[in-house]
Amino acid sequence: MTDGEAAASPASAEDVEPVWTKSERQLRREAELRGRARRSISVATASTIVVAVILVVGITSSPGWPRVRETFFSPEAFVQAVPDVLRGILLNIKIFLIAEVFILVLGLLVALVRGLRSPVFFPLRVLAVLYTDIFRGIPTILLIYLVGFGIPALQLQGAPSDPVTLGIIALVLSYSAYVAEVFRAGIESVHPSQRAAARSLALTHGQTMRYVVLPQAVRRVVPPLLNDFVALQKESALVSVLGPLEAVRQAQIHVASSFNYTPYLVAALLFIALTVPMARFTDHLAARVERRQTGGGTA
């Protein structure tokens, strides 16, 4: 030990070494707590059963139920739709994985541009503000129509015409505006004293961003970013309006040929299967960030 720590241990502690045997009082306390825990579990179980029974009875006793069961919960239609919808969801996965990469890059770029101070960048800064304002305001479905039908209509040389590509472009434009704001919030959450310390070491604005502010900001915004990606996963279904054979489109085709809505249920279940693990992972990361900030805090 090179520090004051060694001196902190008092010499007298060695004489009296307290030994702990659980007292009567503590045993009674623990028995009471165990009793309460048992009661909590019984109450929770009972109330869950009651709610479930009310829901099931309420829905199945409604006058239209036999009809609904037939059109939404048909086992035959379910089995028939699974292979195609499953093939469709692979396209959804491809769409959001590609979109996410571009969203991260564009979102970060827009956030950084908004933080630039030099007057040279004034027009860029204005563009960045306009971009986030406009694209956060347009409903995603409208943006998909605008990009999906508007860009091909321009008949520009080399402009993409493939509906998947156009759908990805629309999703990137829409979500990057949100992600830019998430990044900006992260950048602003880094305490000004960190910037002061970096500037006092003569780091430039760019170096301060790159080595000091961004690494801390990015760590903090991972949970909200993943939350946006959970939303993106299911919104990739909106691309179906342009026609590519993704999960919802595949389900639609089955519905159109059989007049049975069960394929939509298949698609819904597959989307849930995708987003639930992502959502749990997000919770896990958020909890870890929380622990870091409260546990590791001020030393």
Which residues contact other proteins by CB under 8 A?
2-5, 8, 193-194, 196-204, 207, 211-212, 215-216, 219, 296-297, 299
Report, in Å, the least distance between residue 296 CB and other proteins: 5
Which CB sits closer to other proteins, 185 or 203? 203
Q: How far apart are the first and last CA of the chain?
A: 18
Which CB sits closer to other proteins, 5 or 14? 5
Identify the residue whose tokens are 């035959």. Answer: 76
Report, in Å, the least distance between residue 192 CB and other proteins: 10
DSSP 293: H
Which CB sits closer to other proteins, 38 or 219? 219
Structure tokens at 200: 């006092």
Q: What are the C-alpha distances in Å from 196 to residues 56, 113, 199, 201, 203?
A: 61, 20, 5, 9, 10
Report, in Å, the least distance between residue 208 CB and other proteins: 10
Residue type at 151 in one-letter notation = I
Half-sphere exposure of 115 (CA within 13 A, CB side): 21
Which CB sits closer to other proteins, 144 or 214? 214
Report, in Å, the least distance between residue 2 CB and other proteins: 4
How far apart are the C-alpha atoms of 143 and 150, rounded to whole Å?
Answer: 10
Report, in Å, the least distance between residue 195 CB and other proteins: 9
How far apart are the C-alpha atoms of 70 and 67, rounded to whole Å?
Answer: 5
How far apart are the C-alpha atoms of 96 and 275, rounded to whole Å?
Answer: 12
Which residues contact residue 127 at a Cβ distance below 8 angstroms, ignoring those fewer than 6 apart? 113
Which CB sits closer to other proteins, 5 or 17? 5
Report, in Å, the least distance between residue 180 CB and other proteins: 22
Packed helices 75-115 and 214-235: angle between N→C axes, nearest 10 degrees? 150
Which CB sits closer to other proteins, 111 or 198? 198
Which CB sits closer to other proteins, 65 or 211? 211
Largest distance between two CA atoms of the chain: 91
Report, in Å, the least distance between residue 54 CB and other proteins: 51
